[in-house]
A and B are shown apart, each in its own frame.
Chain A
Amino acid sequence: MTAVATIDWHDQIFETLKDHDIKQVYHVPDAGHGKLIEACQKSNSIRTVPLTTEEEGIPLAAGAWLGGQRSVLLMQSSGVGNTINLMGMTKTLRFPFLTLITMRGDYGEFNSWQYPMGQGTPKVLEAMGVLLYSVDDAVEVKATVDAAARSAFNGGQAVAVLLRQKLIGIKNFGKK
């Protein structure tokens, strides 16, 4: 077993979110973020809020910031399109915003329905003025999420970290 294979990047993200004093975590169900969501749900210092649609995560984050708390939105690329209209709030209110996105339709994807939004994700986020960080190597996850949180909460930016499918692993529905 190599050193790289032993890195648990889910745990590293959780620790990084705690280091940055994240108090509210918004999510939809997601296998890619599953372990991180569970860690947040079990944490005493973090409030997790399950959403009916990813869109709710933007105004929730705005409200949390109004109240002095930092938050993060966890979603799949499949749901990014749901957020685009209200993503405009990050520009009009100019509040720090951080989202971590597990990519589908990206690298060896099995499900053709995932490709349109997966491939469109970086473009639509860029169109809305969201700063993009991308990571496909487990070694880079911690530093990338840390940098993204700094850009968001110190630099006042809207930032998305794309956790690439190469990192997460290809969902194969039992097919080889």
Chain B
Amino acid sequence: MNTATLQRRPLVKQLLDGADDDLLVIAGLGSANWDITAAGDRPLNMPLWGAMGAPVAMGLGLALAQPGKRVLVITGDGDMLMSLGSLATVATQQPENLAIVVLDNEKFGETGNQATHTSPRNNGPTNSGAGTDLSVVAKGCGIADSALVREAGEVAQLVKDARTKKGPVFRLVKVMVEKLEFVMPPQDGAHLKDRFRQALLGHA
């Protein structure tokens, strides 16, 4: 079973605390989207409502285009599992301004909390995964600065690393399975893109 004690909402709020125009945020579909929106919707957030498997590559394209800004990708274990290869692609570019934080509750939250591959093996007939450790996967893909975060006492350092440490940074954060309120940003993708570009570039 998932023995995590960290709660995703306050954690993401801390990750985004004091976000200014130098912080560009992409969130994966589902819970990560609602998490960053609960912390405060802002034009320089790009919350995805679909496009599973897209956030890391999207963060890379953005980080390469905006080397002077910090790019923070926040997503879940299910989304990350769908695009493991993108971690190797990030590693080929070694973007110093990119941080990836995966909130791992070992569940596919949007479809009813089925076990993902990060769930333990031999966890019963309906809840078993593979024990996949995404922080080891990231390191194996060539992102040297990859680590696992489990304890409340590690969160301050996590925030500092995600916001300021020379990248690429990968952090796997084990979080609790929780039933949380849906806090939704605007849904229209073209609008989200245009407001992001307007805020960043001064034109859509």
Chain A contact residues, CB within 8 Å of chain B: 23-24, 47, 49-53, 55-69, 71, 86, 88-89, 92-95
Contact = CB atoms under 8 A, between A and B. Distances in A.
Contacts of A56: 57, 83, 85-86, 89
Contacts of B196: 66
Contact of B65 (A52, A63, A86, A88): A63
Interface stretch (B14-22, B45-53, B158-166): B45-53
A50 B66 CA distance: 19
B50 A52 contact: no
B101 interface: no
Contact of B85 (A53, A60, A71): A53
Contact of A95 (B53, B89, B93, B193): B193
Contact of A59 (B57, B66, B69, B189): B57
B65 A67 contact: yes
Contacts of A68: 65-66, 197, 200-201
B50 to A, nearest CB: 7
Interface in B25-48: 26, 46
Given A88-B51, A93-B189, A64 B62 contact: yes
A68 B190 CA distance: 15
Contacts of A51: 85, 89
Nearest to A53: B85
B89 A61 contact: no
B103 interface: no
A170 B55 CA distance: 37
B134 interface: no
Interface residues of B, number: 36
B2 to A, nearest CB: 29
A30 B178 CA distance: 46
A60 B57 contact: yes
Contacts of B88: 52
Interface in B62-106: 62-66, 69, 83, 85-86, 88-89, 92-93
B54 interface: yes
Contact of B50 (A23, A47, A49, A88): A88
A86 B53 contact: yes
A49 B60 CA distance: 10
B192 interface: yes
Contacts of A24: 61, 64-65
Nearest to A51: B89
Contacts of A53: 85
A81 to B, nearest CB: 15
B185 interface: no
A59 B54 contact: yes
A43 to B, nearest CB: 14
A151 to B, nearest CB: 18
A15 to B, nearest CB: 22
Contacts of B49: 92
A37 to B, nearest CB: 14
Contacts of A88: 50-51
